[in-house]
A and B are shown apart, each in its own frame.
Chain A
């Protein structure tokens, strides 16, 4: 025991997270005119997400849900190791195109976000930004046991344990790692939910926005973006 006392514990380093990119500064334009740039205001929108109300006519809403369910456009953002099974999913063997699933390069064009496995804290920040950039209606499909309870990374200091605390999740696909067949089953389950009008989690996100933001800010220390960023 006496040896342990000799070990000096390093003090916690208090860091300040200031990035010069986000500071207000004066810029000279091409024509010599001077103007002030405030990236936190100019580069981001401060629009708060709104609830996407269903159509008042039930038949129209049912038709819209059918249309949404049959064209699931996936954001091509491989956030974890599960993304290695996205390749086989979209190539001839499993061919997810026949279910209307199609990869898109940008969040502006996609409405399904596949969280493929564990999420490091650094990625979570980018995931939140990408998720908020996606237009409504949008759905989240979480792959692997790591998104459910941390999986084998339950004690890691850098991966989150439960995804549904930070962004709303519509369907989980369990497994480590899930096979492409399981992914197809997950897509079909998501379709059923959308057709039944139950996949309304994006609205839950808008309603409980403050709760989600508080959870996100608890772990992301370097929060250099505005709260309502798109």
Chain B
């Protein structure tokens, strides 16, 4: 399958190619090329099964990584196309015309990450959340524990002891009293 990657690299400037397994390859493509690349893969190279569209939030680099995983069922080969988009203006060309299921993935990404896919059907309808008015929850800066403590009513938890210090205190009280940290 290296032939295919070499062929595609010339036309689409693939970078960061990782041959993870004999039948699984990752490659990064430019944002502008991705849709034409996966169209070619579907129509000419036999990648007819679309597996997954996922998003990874690289908050340090200020980018979202979109991963399109495609599968070639006849040659038993997978190709994952990564694509980096800007985090501030998260917009990506919609691919729902290639596989209908992508519309569902795009609805989820819009809701969970706030990524816009112009012209994708039913994009702005509520998919999973209902009446959500905070920042999209799957973004890294959203603190789910803080949100949970503020919104729901956490039950008071029993005080737990660190087992090491507790047992030390219990079994060797003299030793415990002499350690400088316990006096502080």
Contacts and interface: CB of A to CB of B under 8 A. Distances in A.
12 contacts: A7-B141, A9-B135, A10-B114, A11-B135, A15-B132, A149-B154, A149-B155, A158-B137, A160-B152, A161-B152, A161-B153, A162-B155
The DSSP consensus for interface residues of chain A is: loop
A161 B155 CA distance: 7
Contacts of A158: 129, 137
Interface stretch (B15-23, B32-40, B65-73, B142-150): B142-150
- Residue of A12, A154, A160 with highest tally of chain B CB at under 10 A: A154
B86 to A, nearest CB: 10
A14 B133 contact: yes
B148 A155 contact: yes
A148 interface: yes
Given A12-B135, A150-B154, A157-B147, A6 B62 contact: yes
A17 B135 contact: no
- Residue of B87, B114, B154 with highest tally of chain A CB at under 10 A: B154
Interface in A21-53: none
Contact of B137 (A122, A149, A157): A157
Given A10-B114, A12-B133, A122-B130, A150 B152 contact: yes
A220 interface: yes
B76 to A, nearest CB: 34
Interface string B113-148: 010000000000000011111111101011011011
Which 3 pairs of residues, A with B, have the shortest CB-CB distance? Answer: A222-B131, A221-B131, A149-B155
A121 interface: yes
A161 B137 contact: no
Nearest to B151: A219
A158 B135 CA distance: 13
A98 interface: no
Interface of A: 3, 6-15, 17, 121-122, 125, 148-150, 154-162, 165, 215, 218-222
B135 A10 contact: yes
A162 B152 contact: yes
The DSSP consensus for interface residues of chain B is: loop
A37 B174 CA distance: 80
Given A9-B141, A157-B148, A162-B152, A221 B60 contact: no
Nearest to A148: B155
Given A7-B87, A7-B141, 20 more contacts: A8-B87, A9-B141, A10-B135, A10-B139, A11-B135, A12-B135, A13-B133, A122-B130, A148-B155, A149-B154, A150-B148, A156-B144, A157-B147, A158-B129, A158-B137, A161-B152, A161-B154, A162-B152, A162-B153, A165-B152
Interface string B83-96: 00001100000000
A125 B131 CA distance: 12
Contacts of B134: 12-13
Contacts of A161: 148, 152-155
B157 interface: yes
Contacts of B133: 12-15, 221
